[in-house]
Amino acid sequence: MGLIRILDPQTANSIAAGEVVERPASVVKELTENALDAGATTITVSIRNGGILSISVTDNGCGLDPDDALNAFTRHATSKIWLIEDLDTIGTLGFRGEALASIAAVSKVTLKTRQPGDTVGTQVRIEGGELLSHGPTGCPEGTSILVEQLFYNTPARFKFLKKDSTETSAIAEIMERLILARPDVSFRLLANGQELVHSPGNNDLLSAIYAVYGKRQAATCVPITGESGPLTVSGYAAMPDGARHNRSGQTVLVNRRWIRSKTVTAAIDEAYKSRLMKGRFAFVVLKLDLPPALVDVNVHPQKLEVRFWKDGDVFSSVYQAIVAALNEHSGILAPEKSATEEHLEETSENVITQNMQLPNETPKPAYDDISATYGPNNNILSLHDKAADAPAEAVVRTDKSDYSPDKSDQSAPSYEQLTITSSSYADTVLKVADLTEARIIGTLFDTYVLLEWTDELLLIDQHAAHEKIIYERLRQARREKREQMIQPLLSPQTIAVTPAERIMIESEQPFFQSIGFDLEAFGNRSVILRTIPDLQSARIDPELALRTALQLLVKDRPSGPEEVDELLYQIACKAAVKAHDRLSMLEIQQLIADLIPLENPYTCPHGRPVIIRQSRLEIEKKFKRVL
């Protein structure tokens, strides 16, 4: 007897289900995408115990007629592609016709649906892939799908479910992405009856950002726009004071789909380079729109990764769009803004995560408890009762009385008028060009230059300023690919070296030559230096430049052009004016004049501020002249 058997359809379905339905969040993803494909403008997702107990997704979309309500559960039944050619120009989110069949194979599903204009709706109930009932029912227009007891019949999968809060987070993340991808749709997520997030659906991306990340984050955002051939770039980028501790604030949407892209991430990093401190990440919500034929969305089974027709074009468009927005709006932060900066850092969690702060965790029932979990007679209430004395899974507001079940049909929240426009951000910053009107007071601690400007005291970190001047000039020189990056010394300089240094210089002679050091051994203990690299700074000590180069080379020999630039920059910084060098009035004026033409004079190469402002009011408060 052969060993090969054809699996019965139910087994086959539940195996295939594993690909589509891994966890509650995948159910939410599939059902919400279906709702969007059905043209819904409001979608409510309500989960219990991280979606393990139940998930309901209710939409006001086009609904299904009685026949289709049943057909929808057949594998490879889809209304979304008719011909194989359609696969190339898929405009909808789902297209495999597998989700509903897969979900129904591993849970208990109740579908209620009514097409607009129809007098009655249809209800379909399926358990573990078996049809229980199919018939008319009264229900609102649109579709609502209730998925209960996920994986009740597949213990192996049930076992892999995580804690309720982990599953809730995964669901929240799906909702977060949808809210940002579709500001035209109002989404609402309830966990155990508590509202975690509610977006207005007013087709305004900034309102969507507000809904997900809160007002403070939204207030740091400026709009970005860009175009390159068939590609348009839009969305919002946060100014440096809106940066976060990780990449959780980076959203990339390609044709309204949330995706990951190394190219886009690299472009974001490059655009923020030298604007953010180490360990800080840009906050951006980037929308890329381009003809579907120019982007391959099917690279990754979860449809997360895409392939662009021209990576280089995508990189430069994103980079330029962000840099243009940042340059337009950056400046010396208003005194109040710099003061609130730290606060944002601390509370940079998004709204959903904040709403999810769990006082106590209800542990996920163990695998052995599966029958207890879902009850001997599959009675949902049994677990519900059991969980009733346990603390709520998620708490949204401190004011619990705020929630009542009949609020479930409340309309979208009215968002406080967002007055965050590009111009208002620009109003709060001072441009470096304004410094020409400031009165130079002098220097403080031989480190800061003090200026008086209208009702403010400005402080320039002279070392940070100087570093930035050198940094940008070097970058500029590289961009213009200037051949002459060499600075001849007025007279050759003899420099004493150790035997070890001599060996290093001799073996790395071609490299030294290539970056602009023309040197020659002179006896055993010295070298003659004729030229140094042109470090774009008037005050460079040649000997210090050579010593720094030697030191850095011992540590690490640069390979690519980027690393060579970094090396030159470090040499320049070490060999140039330091803090603690007293600047003359003339030098201060020169420093300010050198800052003005820079692309971004506001942060040093490491992202620290170059100039800060102190208001007269703050000073007068300290003297108790005002209260």
- Using CB under 6 A, list all residues that contact ligand ADP: 30, 34-35, 38, 59, 61-64, 72, 77-80, 94-101, 143
Q: Which is nearer to ligand ADP, 115 or 350 (CB)?
A: 115
Find which of ligand ADP, Mg ion, none residue 96 binds, CB within 5 to 8 Å per kind. ligand ADP
Q: Which is nearer to ligand ADP, 34 or 348 (CB)?
A: 34
To ligand ADP, the closest distance from the beta carbon of 368 in angstroms equals 33
To ligand ADP, the closest distance from the beta carbon of 81 in angstroms equals 8
Find which of ligand ADP, Mg ion, none residue 461 binds, CB within 5 to 8 Å per kind. none
Task: Determine whether 26 is exposed, middle or buried from the number of CB atoms within 10 Å of its CB (0-12, 13-18, 19+).
Answer: buried
To ligand ADP, the closest distance from the beta carbon of 106 in angstroms equals 14
By the 8 A CB rule, do 232 and 289 touch?
yes
> Which position among 25, 52, 55, 99 is part of the footprint of Mg ion (CB under 5 A)?
99
Q: Which is nearer to ligand ADP, 98 or 164 (CB)?
A: 98
To Mg ion, the closest distance from the beta carbon of 58 in angstroms equals 16
By the 8 A CB rule, do 274 and 604 touch?
yes
To Mg ion, the closest distance from the beta carbon of 36 in angstroms equals 9
To ligand ADP, the closest distance from the beta carbon of 93 in angstroms equals 7
To Mg ion, the closest distance from the beta carbon of 30 in angstroms equals 5
34 counts as binding Mg ion under rule CB under 5 A? yes
Q: Which is nearer to Mg ion, 96 or 260 (CB)?
A: 96
> Which position among 94, 183, 214, 223 is part of the footprint of Mg ion (CB under 5 A)?
94
To ligand ADP, the closest distance from the beta carbon of 116 in angstroms equals 11
Find which of Mg ion, ligand ADP, none residue 61 binds, CB within 5 to 8 Å per kind. ligand ADP
By the 8 A CB rule, do 240 and 225 touch?
no
Dihedral angle computed from the Cα positions of residues 504, 505, 507 and 510, in that order, rounded to the nearest 10 degrees: 140
Find which of Mg ion, ligand ADP, none residue 325 binds, CB within 5 to 8 Å per kind. none
- Indicate the residue whose CB is closest to ligand ADP: 94
- Indicate the residue whose CB is closest to Mg ion: 94
To Mg ion, the closest distance from the beta carbon of 48 in angstroms equals 23
By the 8 A CB rule, do 78 and 68 touch?
no
CA–CA distance, 399 with 396 (Å, rounded to integer): 8
CA–CA distance, 558 with 571 (Å, rounded to integer): 13
Find which of ligand ADP, Mg ion, none residue 331 binds, CB within 5 to 8 Å per kind. none
Longest dimension (CA), the chain: 102
Find which of ligand ADP, Mg ion, none residue 143 binds, CB within 5 to 8 Å per kind. ligand ADP
Find which of ligand ADP, Mg ion, none residue 511 binds, CB within 5 to 8 Å per kind. none
Q: Which of 27, 56, 278 is nearest to 146 (CA)?
A: 56
Q: Which of 308, 374, 338, 397 is nearest to 107 (CA)?
A: 374
Q: Please, how many CA atoms are within 13 Å of residue 168, restricted to the half-sphere of its CB?
A: 34
How many chain residues touch Mg ion (CB under 5 A)? 3
To ligand ADP, the closest distance from the beta carbon of 97 in angstroms equals 4
104 counts as binding Mg ion under rule CB under 5 A? no
Find which of ligand ADP, Mg ion, none residue 59 binds, CB within 5 to 8 Å per kind. ligand ADP
Q: Which is nearer to ligand ADP, 72 or 464 (CB)?
A: 72
* 222, containing H or E segment: strand 221-228
To ligand ADP, the closest distance from the beta carbon of 133 in angstroms equals 18
To Mg ion, the closest distance from the beta carbon of 167 in angstroms equals 20
Task: Please give the full DSSP string across 237-287, using - where no structure is assigned.
Answer: EE-GGG-BSSGGGEEEEETTEEEB-HHHHHHHHHHHTTTS-TT-B--EEEE
CA–CA distance, 420 with 237 (Å, rounded to integer): 13
Q: Which of 496, 493, 505, 489 is nearest to 523 (CA)?
A: 496
Q: Give the interface segment with Mg ion, choosing from 90-98, 244-252, 306-314, 574-582 (CB under 5 A).
A: 90-98
Q: How far is CA 621 from CA 131, 340, 612, in A?
A: 74, 18, 18
Find which of ligand ADP, Mg ion, none residue 78 binds, CB within 5 to 8 Å per kind. ligand ADP
Q: Which is nearer to ligand ADP, 140 or 558 (CB)?
A: 140
Q: Which is nearer to Mg ion, 124 or 326 (CB)?
A: 124
To ligand ADP, the closest distance from the beta carbon of 20 in angstroms equals 8
Q: Which is nearer to Mg ion, 129 or 365 (CB)?
A: 129
Could you count the other beta carbons within 10 Å of the beta carbon of residue 440?
Answer: 16
Find which of Mg ion, ligand ADP, none residue 27 binds, CB within 5 to 8 Å per kind. none
By the 8 A CB rule, do 93 and 83 touch?
no
Q: Where are the alpha helices (DSSP H) in 21-98?
A: 24-37, 66-71
Q: Which is nearer to ligand ADP, 72 or 572 (CB)?
A: 72
Identify residue 241 by its one-letter amino acid code: D
Q: Which is nearer to Mg ion, 34 or 56 (CB)?
A: 34
To Mg ion, the closest distance from the beta carbon of 362 in angstroms equals 30
Find which of ligand ADP, Mg ion, none residue 128 binds, CB within 5 to 8 Å per kind. none
Q: Give the interface segment with Mg ion, choosing from 63-71, 91-99, 312-320, 375-383 (CB under 5 A).
A: 91-99
Q: Which is nearer to Mg ion, 99 or 290 (CB)?
A: 99
To ligand ADP, the closest distance from the beta carbon of 84 in angstroms equals 15
Q: How far is CA 115 from CA 38, 340, 451, 521, in A?
A: 11, 51, 69, 89
By the 8 A CB rule, do 174 and 29 touch?
yes
Residues ≥6 apart with Cβ < 8 Å to 285: 180, 205, 209, 221, 235, 236, 251, 253
Q: Which is nearer to ligand ADP, 142 or 542 (CB)?
A: 142
By the 8 A CB rule, do 26 and 157 touch?
no
By the 8 A CB rule, do 196 and 185 touch?
no
CA–CA distance, 374 with 382 (Å, rounded to integer): 7
Find which of ligand ADP, Mg ion, none residue 100 binds, CB within 5 to 8 Å per kind. ligand ADP
Q: Which is nearer to ligand ADP, 103 or 532 (CB)?
A: 103
Q: Which is nearer to ligand ADP, 96 or 163 (CB)?
A: 96
CA–CA distance, 504 with 436 (Å, rounded to integer): 47
Q: Which is nearer to ligand ADP, 34 or 220 (CB)?
A: 34
By the 8 A CB rule, do 465 and 591 touch?
yes
CA angle 579, 582, 583 (to 5 degrees): 100
Would you tell me which residues interact with Mg ion (CB under 5 A)? 34, 94, 99
